[in-house]
Chain A
Amino acid sequence: MKDGVLLSVENLHVRFDTYAGQVHAVNGMTFDVRRGEIFGLVGESGCGKSVTGLAIVGMVPHPGRITAGRILFDGEDLLSKDEEEMQHIRGRRIAMIFQDPSAALNPVFTVGNQITRIIRHHMNLSRRDAYERALSVFEAVGLPDPVRIYRSYPHELSGGMQQRVMIAMALSSGAELLIADEPTTALDVTIQAQILDLLAHLRETQHLSILLITHNLGVVAEICDRVGVAYAGNIVEMGATEVVLNQMKHPYTEGLIAALPSPTRRGQPLQSIEGSVPDGLHLPSGCTFHPRCPHVMDRCRDHTPPRVQFSTPYGDHVVSCHLYAREEAR
């Protein structure tokens, strides 16, 4: 285990047994989240990034199951833990927030009731102390008038406030790792920026490490230290955000970035990547990106691409692509 790594996902495989057959949602996902960093896991919908997030907290939805791999959290293998041990980790050490905060808050309980329930469960505090803690966490996430928020029902709050409440609930028991699954996708652009600022701020003040799952490269560019680009349940490129976004090597990453609308290309047709995301039922052989790759070679069709590692001033830069296989030796 490398120094400073909080979470390490190694060769994770998740399968869903459906009537149509085995759906390969996650296929060898490998990445680290270091202490105090914001790691972005970016990819299109269906690339297995959300399932990976759920797998880390041991909540892969039915009928999915983890078929291979290791998930090391602070040196402990989470996959070898039973349900009771996982309950001690969930909420207490690893917390998670979701895309649509209005759906992730229970509509028939006040926000205060929901957060104190979590605090009291994890921290064994009296009603009074839990209330005080709830108010201070509300303040820490920048909610104005915590007492009023405490008494509110979710539907009485705006989307941005709801997401702040979710973040408050997630961090109320002192979690070290926050898995944020598309935390800003359902929000207005101005609110998105506020929530991202808040996450960046909390990373500093609460000694938090964040696994940020998103499809939005803009979000990644904004706050992530490092980023992993996921395609068909695997990481195809990973490295420091500056490197991956500016000196990308994988054809998929190139395609993603070329597809971003840009003011400098005004009037030109929008770029897109040919074809569509493979479904997990019929994964392409070899490199899963080969049917859509502009640089496809013969060996891409039936050979799994190697993980090629480059050294940069910003740290390691890993690419899974046959194009760079010969450069491996460098």
Chain B
Amino acid sequence: MHRWTYIVRRLILAVVVLLSVSVVTFFIARVVPSDPAAAWVGSHPKPDQIARARIELGLDKPLYVQYLMYMNKLFHGDLGTSVQTHHPILMDLKTYLPATLELVLVGMLMAIVIGIPLGVLSGAKKESVLDHVTRFFSVAGVSIPTFWLGLLLQLLFFSKLGLLPLNGRLSVDTTLYHPVTQITGFYLVDTLITGNWFAFKDALLHIILPAFTLATYPIGLTVRMTRTSMIEVLNQKYILAARVAGLPERTVLFVLALKNAIIPTITVLGLSFVYSLTGAILVEVIFSWPGLGTYVTNAVLSLDFPVIVSVTLIVTVFYVFINLFLDIVQAMLDPRVTLQ
């Protein structure tokens, strides 16, 4: 029961955090010496055009009025209009956010599927050949620059081997002859729902390289975290007790030890998930992935403040919820953790 009161309290706190973030980003955006009205009308504007745009955008009003206007719209689900594309931001986000989420989720899945087993085995067989190889690659994964790795992978799997597509979410053929019906915006999910196998396979092939490029850092981190905490857990008396009780080593490592060791790994994975939402920009650029990173980078370059503020808010929402989610997961895994 107190778990629910805890969650409600955290949600109330989340609202406070979001309000503060909206205030800070909004005012920072307005303090920067640039003229949104000039950006709105485009190149070579006449002074009267700028003046009209200023009134249209409400930029002539006091700052706090502008903020209240902005928040009022926000509560009605209107994130504003992009100065650069002149599209409603919500519409832009509907295409960009799922693209990034899909990429990041597949990357995280790779980090879990590859990183955790390697970390477990590496920790269990400390100083073995497997451990040394794993540690070499996990250090490499953490330190190789993303853009360089992305280019190398393209060179290898596209140019040399011809196994995987170069970039984008789908190939032109698919877009023309097997178009994806947009339901969730996740192509892998949408194609599955509609039974569009051709497009599913195409989307899957397209996501492998960018997702893996994105995943190298979290994989390296996951391996190292899991290995370290496995080594610590395997020294515990209850592991000896389980082995003495005759339980098979597989169970000891992947059930009895892992459930204890995985908690710090989950925290790291959750945080790198949020980081990747906007941090995936290099990967998105290299693989021409139409995602949030590309969107917000363009917005920053063209001082598209409504977009910057909206994306900041969205990422904050993810950040707050991931953290809450992590705390709940931790409490579920470790009964000694109480949510208070």
Contacts and interface: CB of A to CB of B under 8 A. Distances in A.
Contact of A155 (B242, B244, B247, B335): B335
Given A117-B251, A153-B335, A153-B336, A104 B241 contact: yes
B245 A118 contact: yes
A105 B241 CA distance: 8
A81 to B, nearest CB: 13
B241, B243, B248, most chain A CB atoms within 10 A: B241
B334 interface: yes
B19 interface: no
B245 A106 contact: no
A91 B245 contact: yes
Contact of A108 (B244, B248, B335): B335
Interface string A51-75: 0001001010100000000000000
B66 interface: no
A90 B243 contact: yes
B238 A105 contact: yes
A127 interface: no
Interface in A65-118: 87-92, 95-96, 98, 100, 103-109, 117-118
Contact of B245 (A54, A95, A100, A107): A95
A122 interface: yes
Contacts of A87: 246, 248
Given A98-B237, A98-B241, A108-B333, A117 B247 contact: yes
Interface string A167-187: 001100100000000000000
B244 A90 contact: yes
A258 to B, nearest CB: 33
Given A108-B260, A108-B334, A118 B247 contact: yes
A121 interface: yes
B29 interface: no
Contacts of B256: 106, 109
Contact of A103 (B238, B244, B259): B238
Given A87-B248, A98-B237, A121-B248, A107 B243 contact: no
B16 interface: no
A118 to B, nearest CB: 5
Contact of B244 (A95, A109, A122): A95
Measured as residues with beta carbon below 8 angstroms from the partner, the interface class of chain B is 20 to 34
Given A108-B259, A108-B335, A59 B246 contact: no
Contact of A59 (B240, B247, B260): B240
Contact of B260 (A89, A107, A155, A173): A107
Contacts of A108: 259-260, 333-335
A91 B244 contact: yes
A91 B259 CA distance: 22
Given A106-B260, A107-B334, A117-B251, A170 B240 contact: no
Interface string B210-254: 000000000000000000000000001110111111111001000
B121 to A, nearest CB: 17
A153 B238 CA distance: 14
A100 B241 CA distance: 11
A252 to B, nearest CB: 29
Contacts of A106: 238, 242, 256, 260
A103 B237 contact: yes
B335 to A, nearest CB: 4
Contacts of A109: 256, 259
Contacts of A166: 241
Given A153-B335, A153-B336, A107 B246 contact: no
B339 to A, nearest CB: 15
B176 to A, nearest CB: 53
A170 to B, nearest CB: 7
Contact of B247 (A91, A105, A153): A91
A57 B246 CA distance: 9
Contacts of A92: 246
A122 B335 contact: no
Interface in B77-102: none
Contacts of B334: 107-108
A122 B240 CA distance: 17
Contacts of A90: 243-246
A118 B238 contact: no
B244 A96 contact: yes
Nearest to B261: A108
B246 A103 contact: no
B240 A121 contact: no
A82 to B, nearest CB: 14
A118 B333 contact: no
A104 B237 contact: yes
Interface in B38-58: none
Contacts of B336: 107, 153, 155
Contacts of B241: 96, 98, 104-105, 166
Interface string A155-171: 10000000000100110
B242 to A, nearest CB: 7
Contacts of A61: 240
Contacts of A88: 246
B333 A103 contact: no
Contacts of B333: 108
A54 B247 CA distance: 16
A59 B335 contact: no
Contact of A118 (B236, B246, B260, B335): B246
5 contacts: A89-B246, A91-B247, A105-B241, A107-B334, A109-B256
Interface of A: 54, 57, 59, 61, 87-92, 95-96, 98, 100, 103-109, 117-118, 121-122, 153, 155, 166, 169-170, 173
Given A108-B259, A117-B251, 6 more contacts: A57-B244, A100-B237, A106-B256, A108-B334, A118-B246, A121-B247
The 10 closest A-B pairs by CB, nearest first: A91-B246, A90-B246, A103-B237, A91-B245, A153-B335, A104-B241, A106-B238, A96-B244, A104-B237, A108-B259
